[in-house]
Amino acid sequence: MAIVYDHIMQLKSEPERFSYTDRESMLYALGVGFCQTDALDPQELRYVYENDLKTVPTMATIIAWNLRVLNNAGINYLMVVHGEQRLKLFRPLPSSADIIAQGRVTGCFDKGPGKGAIVLTETDISLASGEKLCTLGGTVFARGDGGFGGPAGSGPEPHQLPDRAADLTCELTTRHDQALVYRLSGDRNPLHSDPNFAKAAGFPKPILHGLCTYGTVCRAVLKTYCDYDHTKMKSFDVRFSAPVFPGETIITEMWRDGNTVSFRARLKERDVVVVNNGRCELAD
């Protein structure tokens, strides 16, 4: 099995219908840590209680979870790493909706033999009425698939963080069972739940989903710069740089320049950067 450039660049899914309810919205919020330290916090409660329910913007990554753009892509899936996640919102996510999603490959770059390949994807999600909801962008690092003869390159340039001390920080602790809760939103990869599988993959124990870290950092920005108002967030882009173990503390460092919030996240316990080159665009 190997990547064939002309083939992978033609990959796209058919428009597919999905639906979710307030149950999925509340479960996602619990999975990224809302109300974990204070179940009576009125700001966070509005994300996990159906009375005037708000939605976490990064929930967009799981509402069409079974859409598989990279089926038959010719890559070694055991060597795949989620490198980047991008999100552009055209309107706030409803707490429940019928949606239509369609994904496609937008780029594929050859880093060379033994150096892997970069695959870019995009997914457009609309309401069943036709109103555009959001666009997801992803970068996959296929570590075992370099040298297939494709063009050189590395995809989008990472967002550069300001060269000054962070304006504000937010410290959020993950639960030891957080991956077990988050996986109920769709990603049941045993890497995040099975100790034996995790050890076979080279980890001492199961790791937190990268997209759970993504949602947790979104929670930090919502709390710090949006006053928990989900309608203020228009985009949320990150580069993943290291895994998180459930129970570790994520410190998000943030800089604001106009409507742009730049950010990165590191672990308190290990001083490892887990999310880098983050960029969030706020509404006017």
In the chain, count H helices and then E strands. 6, 10
Q: Is 100 a catalytic residue?
A: no
The residue from 22, 41, 187, 229 that is catalytic is: 187
The residue from 3, 62, 63, 207 that is catalytic is: 207
The residue from 83, 103, 107, 210 that is catalytic is: 210
Token pair for residue 148? 């297939």
Q: Is 192 a catalytic residue?
A: yes
Q: Is 159 a catalytic residue?
A: no
DSSP 249: E
Distance CA 133, CA 226 (A): 20
Which helix (H) or strand (E) segment holds residue 182: the answer is helix 178-182
Q: Which residues pair with 20 in a beta bridge?
A: 97
Q: Is 99 a catalytic residue?
A: no
The residue from 146, 192, 209, 237 that is catalytic is: 192
Q: Give catalytic residues, as residue numbers.
A: 187, 192, 207, 210
